[in-house]
Chains A and B, each alone.
Chain A
Amino acid sequence: MLRTQIRPAIVSFIVLTVITGILYPLLVTAIAQTVFHHQAEGSLIVSGDGKILGSSLIGQNFDDPKYFWGRISATSPAYNASSSSGSNLGPSNPALLDEIKARVSALKAADPDNNVLIPVDLVTSSGSGLDPHISQAAAEYQLARVARVRGLTQETVNQIVDQNTQGRFLGFLGEPVVNVLQVNLALDEHKN
């Protein structure tokens, strides 16, 4: 019984490995590279002189008051795109509260007159440590600060934020979000 099954086991293993492990990914790569080359290579943002500025899907760390800040990143260093991770802090872990307190005071220090409650996504870590987005409320919270530091009107900044906001898919799937890196790139561009 065992003997007769050895050959089918080995041969079928090899054949299925070739089909699912080599031919399948090669086929998908061929289609992807032809039809969706930009996405297949990581949706990179490239400057006019060919420098890679980042990816529209991967966040970067910001703590300068002139930029919009993103989610807290639990990777080391922050927003390490070659080693993704969440904080995995439990809801009752004192370390979680310490982290939130630190973030709250950093936000307050950068904008002492802002007494609005802080949107929760701005003081919590993302699941991947690479979240490129914040909620519209989190952008709104930072709007006055960014405008003031840059000497721009709030309307101008608001316009730039709107241009880099994605609504819900079909109007109801997912959450509307602002792409932090793209907003900040656009702000720097605007200054020039």
Chain B
Amino acid sequence: MGLNDFIQTIFFLIVVLLMVKPFGSYMACIYMGRPAGLNVWLVCVEKWIYRICAVKEEEGMTWKTYAVAMILFNILGVLVVYAIQRLQAVLPLNPMAMPAVSPDSSFNTAVSFTTNTNWQSYGGENTMSYFTQMLALSVQNFVSAATGMAILVALIRGFIQKQMNTIGNFWVDMVRTVLYILLPLSIVFAVVFVSQGIPQTFNKSAVATLLQATKDSNGKLVNQQELALGPVASQIAIKQIGSNGGGFYNANSAHPYENPTPLSNFLELLAIMLIPVSLCYTFGCMVKDRRQGWALLAAMSIIFLPCLWFCIQIEQQGNPLFDKLGVDQTTTAFQSGGNMEGKESRFGTANSAIWAVSTTAVANGSVNCMHDSFMPLSGMIPLWLIQLGEVIFGGVGCGLYGMIAFVIVAVFIAGLMIGRTPEYLGKKIEVFEMKMASLVALIPHMFILIPTAIAVLTVVGKAGISNPGPHGFSEVLYAFSSAAGNNGSAFGGINANTVFYNVMTAVSMFFGRYWLAIPMLAIAGSLSAKKIVPSTQGTLPTHTPLFIVFLAMVVLVVGALVFFPALALGPIVEHLMLRGA
């Protein structure tokens, strides 16, 4: 890694770390109902929403009611997003006259955006009207993120409360998240993004006259360029903040209109990490033991940092096959060098690799370069980070509640080792919690590996593969990992806009989201009803370096063992073939 790339990486990590405490404590204030500026000034709006929704703010819900409210709200989301896409041709704000989206693609996108996955089988700028982008997709960017954060807060209440049968009110958690956290952040980021060159307009595409005419694939002369515009910045802000990742444009944040400058790139990266990382601190504040929050952040970081270093390193080494062609891949002051296929000049290999690792550790899924063209081993890192269960920071809310499921597994294993009843934060971990946590740890695996196997065994599945050899298998494995992990990034060569992939990935996304969310709420309910056991000398401390390493190992062992055979068939064998060639 060159010196400048090292500085960029460290600078990014330091800025993220500096945001953790201020932003984490702000979110804790919001969720604990303490005054924190915005929730004082906008309280009348909040109360007005409760009034017209007939929600009693102080009335808690049992975990089952909470789950019903969450599911109901999400089903409504799927229906509305589907309907808007099907009807966009007759709805307003469609200056480019986009026709209705096909039924299978609409269904896939509806599930994708409500589950916070933002897997896109369509290309944004030539499929969706401005109306659909704003009122269907952007809205889900907000509320799907808020859903994840609400569930996390309900789970945290399970640890704080003593012998209660409620875990908070879903509508209150939801409204507060949108109003006081996501919306203000989005406004600030969106305006800064416009200053960097991200468009924000309702005008139709601009048409430029080319300086040098070019030819299309049929040899016909082309002398105009149609520049697709739209209300982009407002959507990009929430896409990054809410770990959604669904681009306005097909090329996502590689598109110069979606990510025009190194500064916009840095801020978009920061927006990816901001909430997932800060929530660890929020957790520590709410359970009144900040060390517990730092411990979780540390366990995530000891997996994240080596992945980051490794990925940058491999990408910068470049592709050995290029060397024979008279191509210069060295990193100098005048070029980024390395494997530049699928990357943008203004970002170079370092910023592309940092993004790839961050967007997959966090279940964001936006991309500023094409993961499909990564070297086999550096392409394996994003893939594997998704397969670890999206718990290394993970999506907003869902990443941390996934990690807490792994904590439950870890204290259970540790409890078996030392022969004591496992506890976490003063709550006894018993059979019911352990069953639910196992579901959370194992269900994504099922919805990655089984559909991958089906896809590579069927003609319709194989038809979508674009690259030959083991790389083609990696494309399919990545697609279902991304879907079940609710990430949304892709090895983009795969042609996923077919009925087969639209339906199969939708199923993976759906179960990858709700079959984890519901068991987590069940854990919240069960913990909430328990007493708090005072800690004694025999209690396993969960903030020590020993436990942090132990927790990271549990995550690694579960992830690594399950997926090693599949990874061996894809990226690992491709690496060996490429080196041997």
Contacts and interface: CB of A to CB of B under 8 A. Distances in A.
Interface of A: 1-2, 5-13, 15-17, 19-22, 24-25, 27-29, 31-33, 35-36, 39-45, 51-64, 67, 71, 76-94, 96-97, 100-101, 104, 116-121, 123-138, 140, 166, 168-169, 172-177, 181, 184-185, 188
A176 to B, nearest CB: 7
B227 A42 contact: yes
A51 B135 CA distance: 34
A53 B206 CA distance: 10
A55 B208 contact: yes
B256 A53 contact: no
Contacts of B142: 16, 20
B183 interface: yes
A45 B210 CA distance: 11
A171 B7 CA distance: 11
Contact of B336 (A51, A78, A121): A121
Interface of B: 4, 7-8, 11, 49, 52-55, 64-65, 68-69, 72-73, 76-77, 80, 123, 125-126, 134-136, 138-139, 141-143, 171, 174-175, 178-179, 182-183, 186-187, 190-191, 194-203, 205-212, 214-217, 222, 225-229, 231, 233-235, 237-238, 249-251, 254-257, 260-263, 265-266, 318-319, 321-322, 325-329, 332-348, 351-352, 367-370, 372-376, 379, 466-469, 471-472, 474, 491-493, 574, 577-578, 581
A132 B52 contact: no
25 contacts: A11-B52, A13-B73, A16-B139, A16-B175, A21-B136, A28-B187, A31-B191, A42-B229, A51-B209, A53-B211, A58-B227, A71-B345, A80-B225, A82-B125, A83-B250, A85-B251, A92-B581, A97-B325, A101-B325, A120-B318, A125-B342, A127-B254, A135-B334, A136-B334, A177-B346
Contacts of B7: 172
Contacts of B370: 86-88, 127
Contacts of B135: 17, 21-22
Contact of B328 (A51, A81, A137): A137
A113 B72 CA distance: 69
Contact of A32 (B225, B233, B337): B233
B296 to A, nearest CB: 29
A91 B374 contact: yes
A91 B325 contact: no
B332 A85 contact: no
B206 A44 contact: yes
A17 B195 CA distance: 26
A120 B203 contact: no
B126 to A, nearest CB: 5
Given A79-B214, A137-B334, A128 B255 contact: yes
A102 to B, nearest CB: 11
Contacts of A20: 138-139, 141-143, 178, 182-183, 238
Given A12-B73, A16-B178, A130-B251, 15 more contacts: A6-B72, A8-B54, A10-B76, A20-B143, A39-B196, A80-B225, A81-B228, A90-B471, A120-B322, A131-B346, A135-B335, A166-B346, A174-B263, A174-B265, A177-B345
Nearest to B255: A128
A21 B238 CA distance: 11
Contacts of A138: 335, 345
B214 A136 contact: no
B344 A84 contact: no
Given A87-B341, A128-B255, A8 B200 contact: no
Contacts of B574: 90-92
A169 B261 contact: yes
Given A92-B471, A93-B471, A174-B347, A124 B262 contact: no
A129 B207 contact: no
A17 B254 CA distance: 28
A29 B203 CA distance: 11
Contact of A168 (B174, B226, B262): B262
Given A25-B134, A42-B206, A82-B227, A91 B578 contact: yes
A4 B487 CA distance: 33
B212 A91 contact: no
Contacts of B207: 52
B91 to A, nearest CB: 12
B261 A174 contact: yes
A188 B345 contact: no
B254 A123 contact: no
Given A19-B178, A54-B208, A91-B376, A39 B194 contact: yes
Residue of B8, B198, B341, B369 most packed against chain A (CB within 10 A) = B341
B251 to A, nearest CB: 4
The 6 closest A-B pairs by CB, nearest first: A174-B262, A127-B254, A88-B493, A90-B471, A117-B328, A84-B251
Given A21-B139, A40-B194, A79-B225, A86 B342 contact: yes
Contact of B195 (A36, A91, A97): A36
B183 A13 contact: no
Residue of A45, A59, A123 most packed against chain B (CB within 10 A) = A123
A21 B342 contact: no
Given A87-B342, A89-B493, A61 B212 contact: yes
